[in-house]
Each structure stands twice: as structure tokens, then as C-alpha cells.
Amino acid sequence: MMNELSMIQRIAVWILPVIFAITVHEVAHGWVAKKYGDNTAAMQGRLTINPIKHIDWLGTIIIPGLLLLTGTGFIFGWAKPVPVDARNFKKPRHDMAIVALAGPVSNVLMAIAWALLARIGVTIGANAENISLPLIYTGIAGISINLVLALINLLPIPPLDGSRVLTGILPSRLAWQYNQLERYGFIILLILLYTKILNTILAYPMYFAQNLFFSLAGIN
């Protein structure tokens, strides 16, 4: 459906879903960290959905923008990481795993919200296309970006959220050794993206998840 839109229309449809998917993801980390005893993010004013507090110009604007303009069909990004100090947790590795998982969970919840918004558009239908079509297109964008962020962040590549979850499961010594990969994590992710291996890894789970959420939206 997105192919029917002009570039300006596509940017207008994607901009809010992308910004909120990325920023709410980070807020979720900080909010859960606070629940487990770490107020670092709260003290730095990062527990807000105001995107200005979270924008990373490269990850929030430039990378998603380039991916959208080049029509890769695969859009993702990131915000400035919310600061979390695991020393404030009672069970640092366990609690950090829960904090990490909060990001992808927030994206799944947002995907549900965007699906419901698209459902409203579908319900309105042809009777008021000037209202229904923006809701449907924005809902599709919201579903897609949130599912992509949830799935990418669940990959066990340090420092992605999936690696924090895995660290909470592994024996301490093995977890320490595994986390030494963190310095190479961004490079690994770029290589996977450039070689399209990332697309291959995510293709089936993304297809399954999109079908599920598009059904919820009444689009399938």
C-alpha cells in the first residue's frame, strides 16, 4: 500500500511512528529501571515522551530518513540510550534483563495501539477517505517500525536488548566473556544489514508478526 504514496506523503506517514517507536522504547527502559530502584534516568529528565529529550540525530533522523528515501523496505533507528546504573539494582543481572526486555515489550504494545488506530480507519472506510486513509497508512507504518525495533532489539548482539536478557541467563564468567563483544556490536549489526543477512534473519518472524497485527487492524 505504501507504494501508492508520494515521497512527501510517505515521510508524513512515517515520521510520528518512527519518532515515538524509538523514544518510547527508551522511556520504557528508564521507567522499569526506576521501578527496580534506579532513578538515574528520572534524575536526568529522560522519563518523558518528549522526543527532543531522546533524539539522536544519526539514529533517530538521518538513518531512518535515508532508509525511507532509498526505499530499502527496511526502516529502523535508535534514540540516545537512557542511562541505567545496574549498581542500584538488588539483583543486577536479573533486574537489568527485565529492564532490557521492557524496550521490545513497549514496541509490541505500541504496535497493538497502531493496529487499533488502523482498525478505526478501516471501519470508517470509503465514507470519509480523507480521514480513514491517513489512519490506515499511519497505522501500517506504526505496526511495521515497532515490530522491526522489537525484533532487532531481541537479537543477542551486544549491546542490543536481547544481549542483556541473555546475560541475565548465562553463568557469570560466560556472561562477562560474551559482553566483550559489545565494542564490536554496532559493526556486526551494520555488516548484517549491508549483506542483507539481517533481512534474512528477520524475514519469517516479521512476516508472521505483520500478518498477525495486520489482521488485528482488519487490513488482511
| Residues known to be catalytic | 26
* 56 DSSP assignment: -
Q: Which of 160, 192, 157, 161 is nearest to 178 (CA)?
A: 157
DSSP symbol at 45: T
CB burial of 22-32 (b: ≥16 within 10 Å; e: otherwise) equals: bbbbbbbbbbb
Instruction: Extract the C-alpha cell encoding 204.
Output: 519469517
161 in Cβ contact with 104 (< 8 Å): yes
Quick one: DSSP state of residue 35? H
